[in-house]
């Protein structure tokens, strides 16, 4: 494994991922994700977009203070105020990076920036120079790079490197390129730009045509040595290249992709579950590497093959990505010590007050549910993490349902420490529950998605409900789990409302850009 074949992993779950509609995370959730990425061996954590809001700034700043190994990076548009704010946010980092970008494609320059190419060129130099005054680790991205005219692209890349950029990212912003084309693009730029050997090249691919991972790996074959990616592939529109997929592709097919990363792949499953829990974005069942069916063998022929030799149908072991065999873990007689041990085994590190709450909830669950599986504990703890800062909390719920309507629900909530009760009818029990919430917390949000699935098997399995709400241009998703589907529904709806409250406090930066 030579150093020239080392591919640096730049994770943008907390920036591009969090930017995607509905994926809002709270401050504490971002810290938790950053810690998990750092432990996994991610080289660079793009922690946010500091100018976007006070919340984004605080998150980048605290991640910069806490991160032990990774470089902590903030995003900045091509504006001095963005770069100055970003520099301030990453200041406490042991190693900090400023990532500044501007569009270079004809369509973006003409319609989005409404700027002439010469002006854009001038800004590239000015912004990279500004960023270099703060740190010697500066990344420059040519937004919509794959639709940029080659001569102009090479001119800008050369100037950015000359001004001090140490990483050059050529993003496929709109997920338009193909593997062959992206390979040739990197080859061409590296050959034509005279100072290209003074920077590391980076890929950043979106998945609009389902080719983000293939394109990223093609870019690496073309000479890039940084991959920008996200856990579970979350990100703008169809998402970004999935970290777990690019990492495992290089590991499993090292014969044809002879590159290596510093990622501890056994931490992948935990990180995937954490990101799914805090964003409430379910992972597709058949998703590569981290989907719940990724290592499941249902058909008789496959099971027969697996029993004879696992390599018949498995190209990597579940253990290699941190999948543990589901086990019957605990019951109502299990004590605190066993619970803490189980949490450690599942990869959780909870603060003592969170641990106490989680243990109380585990005991309550064990009283109601005969078998408590790993998945039950994960759902319980993930909910504990996701709801720790909630302002609106469910205190109690009772519902009268049955063949004769209308169905009725009575709900008690704690809203900022104040108790409120309401009783409502509905067209079905879920409708009655949601009507109670609307009466107690008046809001204009639209219910865009309501989905229920069982966490494990059996009629006493916990129901996991996902709810997506939208209000004006804001979309949020949340999950709730409980053996009672109606309680899980109420928790999910309230979780989404709590996220909307956070989102309302944030402002959205304009698309681009202010002159320096």
Closest by CA position to 50, among listed 20, 76, 27: 76
Residue 141 CA to residue 200 CA, distance in Å, equals 12
CA distance 152 to 402: 68
User: Residues touching ligand KIV: how many (CB under 6 A)?
Assistant: 9
Q: Does 46 contact Zn ion by CB under 5 A?
A: no
Task: In whole angstroms, give the CA distance from residue 176 to residue 187.
Answer: 18
141 binds, options ligand KIV, Zn ion, none, Cβ within 5 to 8 A by partner type: ligand KIV
Alpha helices in 234-351 (DSSP H): 243-252, 268-279, 300-308, 336-346
- DSSP secondary-structure letter at 230? B
101 binds, among ligand KIV, Zn ion, none (CB under 5 to 8 A by kind): ligand KIV
CA distance from start to end of the chain? 44
Rounded to a whole number of angstroms, the minimum distance from the CB of residue 16 to ligand KIV is: 5
Q: How far is the CB of 175 from ligand KIV (least distance, A)?
A: 9
CA distance 154 to 420: 62
Supply the Cα-derived Rg of the chain in whole angstroms.
24
Enumerate residues 16-55 that contact ligand KIV by CB under 6 A. Answer: 16
Helix and strand numbers, DSSP H then E, in the chain = 17, 16
Is the Cβ of residue 101 or residue 339 nearer to ligand KIV in the bound state?
A: 101
Least distance (Å) from ligand KIV to the CB of residue 397?
41
Burial of 291 (0-12, 13-18, 19+ CB in 10 A): middle
Q: Name the one residue in this structure whose structure tokens are 């053996």.
A: 483
Q: Closest Cα to residue 370, out of 336, 398, 314, 331?
A: 331
| Binds ligand KIV (CB under 6 A): choice among 101, 183, 201, 373 | 101
Is 44 strand, coil or helix? Answer: strand
16 binds Zn ion (CB under 5 A): yes
Contact map string, positions 183 to 222, toward ligand KIV, x by CB under 6 A = ---------------------x-x----------------
Q: Does 139 bind Zn ion (CB under 5 A)?
A: no
- 143 is in the binding site of which of Zn ion, ligand KIV, none (Cβ under 5 to 8 A by kind)? ligand KIV
Rule CB under 6 A: say whether 56 interacts with ligand KIV. no
List the single partner that 10 binds among ligand KIV, Zn ion, none, CB under 5 to 8 Å by kind.
none
Stretch that binds Zn ion, among 14-22, 153-161, 268-276, 447-455 (CB under 5 A): 14-22
Binding mask 139-178 for ligand KIV (x = CB under 6 A): --x-x-------------------------x-x-x-----
DSSP-assigned beta bridge partners for residue 418: 415
Where on the chain is the footprint of Zn ion (CB under 5 A)?
A: 16
Residue numbers of the site for ligand KIV (CB under 6 A)? Answer: 16, 101, 141, 143, 169, 171, 173, 204, 206
């Amino acid at each position: 494994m030579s150093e020239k074949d080392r591919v640096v992993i730049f994770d943008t779950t907390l920036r591009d991922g969090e930017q995607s509609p509905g994926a809002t995370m709270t401050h504490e959730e971002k810290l938790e994700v950053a810690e998990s990425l750092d432990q996994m061996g991610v080289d660079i954590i793009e922690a946010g977009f500091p100018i976007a809001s006070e919340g984004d700034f605080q998150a980048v700043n605290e991640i910069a203070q806490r991160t032990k190994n990774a470089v902590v990076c903030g995003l900045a548009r091509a504006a001095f105020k963005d770069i100055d704010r970003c520099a301030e946010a990453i200041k406490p980092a042991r190693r900090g990076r400023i990532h500044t970008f501007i569009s270079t494609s004809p369509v973006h320059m003409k319609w989005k920036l409404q700027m002439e190419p010469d002006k854009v060129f001038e800004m590239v130099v000015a912004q990279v120079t500004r960023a270099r005054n703060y740190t010697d680790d500066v990344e420059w991205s040519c937004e919509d790079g794959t639709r940029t005219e080659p001569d102009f692209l090479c001119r800008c890349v050369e100037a950015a490197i000359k001004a001090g950029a140490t990483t050059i990212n050529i993003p496929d912003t709109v997920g338009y390129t193909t593997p062959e084309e992206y390979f040739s693009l990197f080859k061409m730029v590296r050959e034509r730009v005279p100072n290209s050997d003074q920077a590391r090249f980076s890929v950043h691919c979106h998945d609009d045509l389902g080719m983000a991972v293939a394109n990223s790996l093609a870019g690496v074959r073309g000479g890039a040595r940084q991959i920008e990616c996200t856990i579970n592939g979350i990100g703008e529109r169809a998402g970004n290249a999935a970290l777990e997929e690019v990492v495992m592709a290089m590991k499993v097919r090292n014969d044809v992709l002879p590159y290596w990363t510093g990622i501890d792949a056994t931490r992948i499953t935990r990180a995937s579950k954490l990101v799914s829990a805090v964003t409430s974005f379910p992972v597709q069942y058949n998703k590569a590497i981290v989907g719940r069916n990724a290592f499941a063998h249902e058909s008789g022929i496959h099971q027969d093959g697996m029993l004879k030799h696992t390599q018949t149908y498995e190209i990597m072991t579940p253990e290699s990505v941190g999948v543990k065999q589901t086990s019957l873990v605990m019951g109502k007689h299990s004590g605190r010590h066993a619970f803490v041990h189980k949490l450690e085994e599942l990869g959780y590190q909870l603060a003592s007050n969170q641990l106490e709450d989680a243990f109380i909830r585990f005991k309550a669950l064990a009283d109601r549910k005969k078998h408590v599986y790993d998945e039950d504990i994960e759902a319980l703890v993930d909910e504990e993490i996701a709801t720790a800062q909630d302002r609106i909390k469910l205190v109690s719920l009772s519902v009268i349902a049955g063949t004769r309507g209308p169905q009725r629900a009575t709900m008690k909530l704690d809203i900022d420490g104040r108790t409120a009760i309401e009783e409502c009818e509905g067209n079905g029990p879920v409708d009655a529950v949601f009507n109670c919430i609307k009466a107690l917390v008046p809001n204009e949000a639209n219910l865009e998605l309501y989905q229920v699935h069982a966490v494990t098997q059996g009629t006493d399995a916990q129901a996991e409900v996902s709810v997506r709400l939208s209000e004006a241009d804001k979309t949020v998703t949340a999950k709730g789990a409980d053996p009672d589907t109606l309680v899980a529904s109420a928790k999910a709806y309230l979780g989404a409302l709590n996220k909307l409250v956070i989102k309302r406090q944030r402002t959205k930066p304009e698309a681009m850009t202010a002159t320096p």
